[in-house]
Amino acid sequence: MEQIAKKSGGLRGTLESGKEYYEIRLESIGGLGANLCGKMLGELGVKYLDVNSSSFSSYGSEKTGTPVKGFIRYCQKEKEIRVHYPVVEPDLLVVFHQALLKDDGVWKGCSQDTSVIITLEPRQDQPKELRERLFDGQIGTCYGLEAQKIAMESHSRINVVMLGAVLKVMGIESLEAGEQICRDTLGKKYPDALKANLEGMRRGYEEVRLLSGKEAPGDKAGAKAGVDAKDIAEDKLAAKTADKVWGYDNAPIGGINPRFGSTVISDLSPSRQGYIPLFIKERCINCGLCHSTCPDMVFQFAKGEYKGREMMVNQGLDYYHCKGCLRCVDVCPVNALVRGVESEHPRKEYFIPNQELLRMPKYYEEAGSDGYITSESYLTEKRMEGGEV
Ligand code: SF4
Ligand code: SF4
């Protein structure tokens, strides 16, 4: 705790140093709750931290899976906040999903003075994209935590876990203020989930850890993990070349926004929060309800035969577009779709890529889509029910 507060400078340290504002930028994807997290952080300042504060979010269509940014500013309580533009040079950058790390826009305005909090996969140390930034000296100090795992285990959501981590990195000495703001906000809206959310926040506060300091930028860490300077230099050269094509001022008219969830070829898997629908083909009656309910083009129907009749038959799911909302599980009348924990199902044997997109296979390779459908879940259910397998 002391180590973290000391390294980041924190909220009080920054304001006492004479800097006008302590600014936070949240980088997230619709569905992870960053908007609410930003609101709670903003309210927290005025109500419980004895500072003045403001917050707002920026998002597009509000569709799950599309980019969301949150901006929070703190200053001394006597000062009036008269700036209302996005946080350009954050003191603290908070990245809610690892898929965002490869997006250059996420890192804009960061410097050696910026602290960063990222989410980690279980047992992960430093993701490659982070090592590159550290190697380059583009960010100062980095912290990480297994936010999704904590959220699932505590039955809370990623936003409260990240809220706990932010409070710690800001150098807030106790969780009391955080708990209070949770009660004020979530206690009213979701009273049944308050206990779980408080637990998620507590674990975020306690489990966020230092991944690197300013004094250890990348080279040692990179070498240890098998990333050498040549690889990084090549990646940087490739990024520069791409910049020449895709800069905002020289993009061709009619250009597209290639970020998550923005186009039909966008990978929506980063929106999933640990759960996916599993398809039990043996139970499916091909009613098509899942297909008409799914907000994205996940289900793949093709001409086939069912009970001796020619009809459109459910071939399986294209998990590339599945954002994990689980509406299909709710609607299936015969439990042919069931909720599964994503990390427990690494097999892809029934994965059916969307036929219309097959002429662009590069997108699948780059995204590393982790879709699959398994009949194993069916067998497991049968075993649990004591039936024959
Ligand atoms: S709703 Fe269920 S039964 Fe109907 S097509 Fe979809 S998976 Fe099959
Ligand atoms: S969980 Fe089901 S309804 Fe939601 S996006 Fe995935 S396949 Fe479609």
Q: Which of 325, 332, 342 to mutate to test the pocket of ligand 2 (most atoms within 8 A of CB)?
A: 325
Which ligand approaches the C-alpha of residue 276 most closely?
Answer: 2
Residue 64: its pLDDT value, please? 65
- For CATH 3.40.920.10, the residue range(s) in the chain are 2-244
Please name which ligand lies nearest the alpha carbon of 273.
2
**Range list of H helices, the chain:** 2-8, 10-16, 34-48, 128-136, 147-154, 158-169, 176-189, 194-207, 219-224, 229-246, 289-293, 327-331, 361-367, 376-385
Q: How many CA atoms lie within 13 A of 94 on its CB side?
A: 36
- Residue 124: the pLDDT is 77
Residue with more model confidence, 276 or 52: 52
For residue 370, give the DSSP letter.
Answer: -
Residue spans in the chain of domains classed CATH 3.30.70.20: 269-385
Rounded distance between C-alpha atoms, residue 255 and residue 9, angstroms: 41
Q: Measured in whole angstroms, how far is the alpha carbon of residue 85 from the centre of its chain?
A: 24
Query: Which residues are CB-neighbours of 367 under 8 A, at least 6 positions away?
Result: 267, 269, 320
Centre of ligand 2 from the C-alpha of residue 276, in Å: 8
Looking at domain 2-244, does it have CATH number 3.40.920.10? yes
Average pLDDT, integer, range 351-363: 61
Question: Minimum mean pLDDT among 75-84, 128-137, 170-179, 263-272: which range?
Answer: 263-272
pLDDT for 215 equals: 39
Q: What is the pLDDT of residue 333?
A: 94
pLDDT in tens, 254-276: 666 666 666 666 677 777 878 88
Q: What is the pLDDT of residues 309-347, one digit of tens each?
A: 999 999 888 888 888 889 999 999 999 999 988 877 766
Mutate which of 66, 296, 335 for ligand 2? The one with the most ligand atoms within 8 Å of its CB, which is 296
Of ligand 2's atoms, which has the minimum distance to the CA of residue 277? Answer: 1
User: pLDDT tens-digit profile of 21-51?
Assistant: 999 999 998 878 899 999 999 999 999 999 9
Residue 111 near residue 92 (C-beta atoms within 8 A): no
What pLDDT was estimated at residue 218?
Answer: 33
CATH topology of domain 269-385: Alpha-Beta Plaits (3.30.70)
